[in-house]
Amino acid sequence: MGDVGGKPRVAAVAVGGGSFSVEQPLWIAISAFRVLTLLYAIGRYAQHEQHYTNQLGAWIYMGVLSAWTLGTVKVFWSKEHCGRRWLVVDLSLVVLGILLTRAFDGPHWVSGGDVTLPTIRAASSVLGFAAYGGWLPAAFAGVVVGVANVIEAGRPGEVGKLDSSNLHNIVLLLLAGVAIGFVIDLARKSEETLARALEIQAATRERERLARDIHDGVLQVLSLVKRRGLELGGEAAEIAALAGEQEAALRRLVASGLGPAASEVPAPARAGRVAEATVDPSTPQDLRALLAPLSDPQISLAQPGTAVLLPAQAATELAAAVGAALDNVRRHVGEQARAWILVEDEPDAVIVSVRDEGPGFDPARLVEAEREGRLGVSQSIRGRLRDLGGSAEIYSAAGQGTEVELRVPKQRQQSRQ
């Protein structure tokens, strides 16, 4: 079996180089490794053929090994095709070749520790077990190959022989198989962890999207009913109290991350809310057409004279964020509060600024509001811009009003089309 050292690094490189999965690149490397080590074994036997007493029998074995290796290239190409039975047959054929070496060999050639018929082809069998089941099956296969080599190395009349030469090869094979199997186990666990993290991330984004819809619709209506009911008094005040209780309960529910499923979210009823686009999300949309309905005698809109084009989904989300900012103005400053919308179409980004004439606030209040389940800024504004690859900056100071600056990069949006 000598010459086993160093070769398993081929499979190790494949593990590190697999960009989409640890499985497929590894099996491709093992399949190629089996063919390369077969060619090496044939060359080594041809070089030392004179040392064998039964050269015909040795060539028959090499032919069978070649037919098996080349005929199962596609089988060993992926784990889906290569089951445990294929690995056991491959290992058995290698072990048979090691044991037959003594029968076909001249005196003392193998016992000298030089070479066996399958030579480093045995390493590919161990690596196959490592790829299939990890370090434990690899260790089992390595021990089987090692025992076969110990038996084969014995002189006539001896059961076996363990010397420094074959011990060196056996240890190298075991270490290579176990190390690669251990790395594969870690890689698979890492992939599982990454998959779970991506699922959690996707679920979180969906929950945030639902929270935005709830905030833009149900919560805004409940808040409006509570405020108007308290202003009217009488029986309307009772309705306002009920609306206030439901608003608080829904905010707690959303903040806890237990929001209702999409099918349970009522259609948004907020006046002036920008309707979602029904066209292809990547179709260019003029942002001005979506912002125009938001202007009224209290809200001034300044925008370029030419079209401000963004993908339909990006334009809709940006306009919805502007609507959420205006909702905050009406709620915290008053229905008759003045506000200004400025649209800037720059070469690399679209910037929309919303400014009001209110009293301003302490920026630390945003963190407190988010803990209370008030998601107007954290989700309806910042959450939308974050999903678009943009940013939302809030500038406010006592007595100086508030300005919300929304920036959506054009390059990021074009790359999504």
Q: Quick one: 158 and 21 in the same domain? A: yes
Q: Measuring CA to CA, how many Å separate 231 from each of 62, 235, 242, 327?
A: 96, 11, 15, 19
pLDDT recorded at residue 139: 87
- Given a cut of 90, is residue 79 above it in pLDDT? no
Q: Which two tokens stand for residue 372?
A: 């209370």
Domain boundary among 149, 173, 197: 197
- Given a cut of 50, is residue 3 above it in pLDDT? no
Decide: 24 and 76 in contact? Cβ < 8 Å. Answer: no
Percent of the chain clearing pLDDT 70 (strictly above): 72
Type of residue numbered 331: R
CATH assignment at residue 304: 3.30.565.10
Q: Quick one: 183 and 325 in the same domain? A: no
Residues forming beta bridges with residue 105, ordered by sequence position:
52
Which has the higher per-residue pLDDT, 194 or 286? 286
Type of residue numbered 226: K
pLDDT recorded at residue 149: 82
Q: Quick one: 302 and 404 in the same domain? A: yes
Specify the residue for token string 């009772």.
238
In a domain, 227, yes or no: no
Percent of the chain clearing pLDDT 90 (strictly above): 17
Q: Measuring CA to CA, how many Å separate 283 from each of 48, 189, 315, 362?
A: 71, 40, 10, 40
Which has the higher per-residue pLDDT, 114 or 394? 394
Sign of the dihedral defined by the CA atoms of residues 32, 34, 36, 39, in that order:
negative
How many alpha carbons fall within 13 Å on the CB side of residue 171?
Answer: 7
In a domain, 238, yes or no: no
Distance CA 21, CA 105 (A): 44
Q: Quick one: 176 and 288 in the same domain? A: no
CB atoms within 10 A of CB 234: 8
* Region of residue 189 (phi > 0: left; psi between -120 and 50: alpha; otherwise: beta): alpha
- Given a cut of 70, is residue 87 above it in pLDDT? yes
In a domain, 213, yes or no: no
Distance CA 314, CA 333 (A): 28
pLDDT recorded at residue 344: 94
How many domains is the chain built from?
2
Q: Quick one: 285 and 137 in the same domain? A: no
Q: Quick one: 193 and 278 in the same domain? A: no
Distance CA 129, CA 134 (A): 7
pLDDT recorded at residue 197: 82
Q: Quick one: 171 and 304 in the same domain? A: no
Specify the residue for token string 């109290």.
241
pLDDT recorded at residue 156: 55
Which has the higher per-residue pLDDT, 211 or 29? 29
pLDDT recorded at residue 409: 93
Region 123-144: mean pLDDT is 87
Q: Quick one: 189 and 278 in the same domain? A: no
DSSP state of 265: S
**Candidate from 173-177, 313-317, 371-375 with smallest mean pLDDT:** 371-375
Domain boundary among 145, 180, 197: 197
In a domain, 366, yes or no: yes
How would DSSP label each residue in 36-73? HHHHHHHHHHHHTGGGBS-HHHHHHHHHHHHHHHHHTT
Q: Quick one: 48 and 165 in the same domain? A: yes
- Of the pLDDT bands very low, low, confident and very high (cuts 50, 70, 90), residue 147 is confident
Which has the higher per-residue pLDDT, 153 or 148? 148
pLDDT recorded at residue 379: 60
- Given a cut of 80, is residue 9 above it in pLDDT? no
- Of the pLDDT bands very low, low, confident and very high (cuts 50, 70, 90), residue 14 is very low
pTM for this structure?
A: 0.45
Domain boundary among 181, 197, 213: 197
Tens-digit pLDDT profile for residues 336-373: 889 999 999 999 999 999 999 888 877 777 666 666 55
Domain that holds residue 377: 274-417
In a domain, 256, yes or no: no
Tens-digit pLDDT profile for residues 253-306: 655 554 433 333 333 333 334 444 345 566 888 999 889 888 888 889 999 989
pLDDT recorded at residue 10: 35
pLDDT recorded at residue 193: 82
- Of the pLDDT bands very low, low, confident and very high (cuts 50, 70, 90), residue 155 is low
> Which strand (E) or helix (H) includes residue 401?
none
Average pLDDT over the chain, rounded to whole?
76
Q: Quick one: 193 and 286 in the same domain? A: no
In a domain, 158, yes or no: yes
Q: Quick one: 170 and 42 in the same domain? A: yes
Highest averaged pLDDT of the listed ranges 128-137, 164-173, 360-369: 128-137
pLDDT recorded at residue 131: 84
Region 234-251: mean pLDDT is 74
In a domain, 292, yes or no: yes
Q: Quick one: 15 and 114 in the same domain? A: yes
pLDDT recorded at residue 287: 92
pLDDT recorded at residue 38: 93
